[in-house]
Chain A
Amino acid sequence: MSKIDRKRLLREMVFFRRFEDRTFEAYMERKIGGFLHLYSGQEAVATGVLEVIQAERGIGFDYVITGYRDHIHAIKTGARAREVMAELYGKETGSSKGRGGSMHIFDPSVHFMGGYALVGQPFPLAAGLALACKHQKEGRIAVCFLGDGANNQGTFHETMNMAALWKLPVLFVCENNLYAIGTAIQRSTPIIDQYKRLAAYNIPASQHYGQDIEVVMEATQSAVDHVRSGAGPYFLELLTYRYRGHSMSDAGAYRSKEEVAEWMQQDPIQILAQRLIEAGELTEEEFKAMEQAVQDEIDNDIVKFAEESPEPKVEELTKYVLEDNPDPRWIGPLEAQGGGHG
């Protein structure tokens, strides 16, 4: 990676951390409702994987899909941070026009096909996106991010079976943060190393350290090369950790202070910042200035946009349930054109 790339990536990760911290504050101020699942601590995964994917986008957008911890994946895929924040505020300018909220960020204009709040549900949807990619022969692939907890759903097994059988161009990225909601991985499955499960489906898989973005990018590159070659799916397991509880209603009391402290020492932002500082590519002052600039951008632009945006109109409550103006030839109403009963 070039110097410029590393500094930009660092700034992006700082932005993602601050974005999530700011949503935490807005939630405490009751400006954001519902459930809120934050990504802090895992930034190197989405940033690193999607950086590699994006670098290859000359052929057009690949599809990205994920679960409910989705804000950062959406932004890194190309959704505007303003619109993601506005969605959290439930505003009409939000990426789902205030109908989706935190767990359902969508931006099909950049092929971000959604966050889903049913654990494991995105596996088959991702395989379906990949099926379309294979059928349409435009060189696209699908990328599916999900946590380790999702691997205990039936959809994991069903989808891996079909994805391998049909050699679908799909990259599964398992963000193994060691907890399924509040249950430690060793208490929910006898297979701690998730990549080993894929041997059952003849899918190549590997496990990597997910806190170092350069490790993530290197692993992603070879995984994506495999998928793009037409050889079928790849399963990438990245070991990471979330700093906050599962959601805002979870203080994370099931984890020891020692364990949390140990992982905080392996912070993806600090790892990259220190590396750049030691290499003489970045000074402490520059890093501080970067953090300040990010904070200003989020407060003065992103949050301001969300706060000043209009609410959805209540009169439009039932808009978007079905297609707005469907073709009357297919939909009806039935006209007198000869009865079906002769």
Chain B
Amino acid sequence: MAELAYWEALRRAHDEELANDPMVIAMGEDIGVAGGTYKVTLGLYDKYGEERIVDTPISENSYTGIGIGASMAGMRPIIEIMSINFALLALDTLINAAAKIRYMSGGRAQCPIVMRTPGGTAHQLAAQHSARLARLFMGTPGLRVVTPSTPLDAYGMLKSAVRCNDPVIFIEHESMYNLKGEVPDEEVFRPLEGAEVIREGTDITLIGYNYSVHWCLSAADKLAQEGISAEVIDLRSLKPIDRETIRRSIEKTHRVLVAEEDEAPVGVGSEVITGIIEDCFFALDAQPVRVHAADVPVPYNYNLEKSAIPDAKDVYQGALKVLGKV
């Protein structure tokens, strides 16, 4: 069992999948000679060559479209987009083509692509480099949306995503690339569907995905010091959402908080809480709370940025509110 950083786990998944199947290629800006903005493809250009580790011009919509076209002809492209903000340029080809080609061909064509991209705020990157946008892809039939929060999931879910025959939006986070965790030495696949209870508890359920999982975990630590037992769920997949795991947890804890880095209107939390109301309303002993970003473009100023984006402290405070302690 090795301790790997999130970026190293992704790099290992690339390496293994490229070695496993000659139809796998990686495409993106600066991923080849330069080794990738977040080092995810470091060294792979030397190992696999320019035809499999493809440095693209800055043309997100069309190089994503090229990946989609190639996937229709039997390739398995992993398309890296440097920031989810730039993925907006590729929305036409992702939402109008990749997501719909299987359906509008009556199941006769398919697009097995993975679009990897970090969505999130890091350090003062300001409005055009700090978007989250998970909610945008969640609302599109025909896509899978996954949000690995650990090196193990980053590794195992990327390997599964490459082998999946549906288009997968694989959302990472700028602030997670250096996060470390254990990954087994042997080959592991982690399924693209299914939420996971990552900490058992009895008093309240804290639900997160991607980076917000880590806020939930530290909030749970703090709550534990006060004798409150919090259960933490990592959603892992935003499309589809595993409502069954959420229901089971709430029937045990009867209280719930959802933590997201997306903005609240039409956010991930809106969808999760709607599901909770539909599935287990009568199991609730308190009003659900969502912790979310402010409805503003992310500001540059450090203090303003900090106030726009929630953190572990907000999750802790929110939990106290659910528990009726504030």
- A contacts, CB < 8 Å to B: 63, 65, 94-100, 104, 106-109, 113-114, 116, 118, 121, 123-136, 142, 154-155, 158-159, 161-162, 165, 319-324, 326-335, 337, 339-342
Contact = CB atoms under 8 A, between A and B. Distances in A.
Contacts of A324: 107
Interface string B76-118: 0000000000000000110011000111111111100000000
Interface of B: 23, 25, 51, 56-57, 59, 61-75, 92-93, 96-97, 101-110, 141-142, 144, 148-150, 152-153, 160-161, 163-166, 181-182, 189-199, 213, 217, 234, 236-237, 242
A341 to B, nearest CB: 4
A129 B66 CA distance: 7
B107 A334 contact: no
Contact of A158 (B61, B69, B75, B150): B61
Contacts of A134: 51
Interface centre among B67, B71, B191, B234 (most CB of A within 10 A): B191
Contacts of A100: 104-106
A106 B69 contact: no
A130 to B, nearest CB: 8
Nearest to A105: B105
A333 B182 CA distance: 22
B160 A329 contact: yes
Given A161-B57, A330-B160, A340-B234, A128 B67 contact: yes
20 contacts: A100-B104, A106-B108, A114-B104, A114-B105, A118-B97, A124-B63, A124-B65, A124-B68, A124-B93, A128-B75, A131-B69, A132-B70, A132-B73, A322-B102, A323-B165, A329-B160, A329-B191, A330-B163, A334-B190, A334-B191
A126 B64 CA distance: 12
B61 A124 contact: yes
Contacts of A107: 108
A334 B163 CA distance: 16
Contacts of B141: 321
B191 A331 contact: yes
Contacts of A329: 160, 189, 191
A13 to B, nearest CB: 27
Contacts of B67: 128
B191 A125 contact: no
Contacts of A97: 106-108
Contacts of A124: 61-66, 68-69, 93
Interface centre among B101, B194, B234 (most CB of A within 10 A): B101
B317 to A, nearest CB: 23
A83 B73 CA distance: 22
Nearest to A327: B163
Given A99-B103, A322-B144, A340-B149, A131 B198 contact: no
Contacts of A129: 69-70, 72-73
B107 A159 contact: no
Contacts of A154: 61-62
A142 B23 CA distance: 18
B153 A340 contact: yes
Nearest to B217: A341
B193 A96 contact: no
Nearest to B74: A132
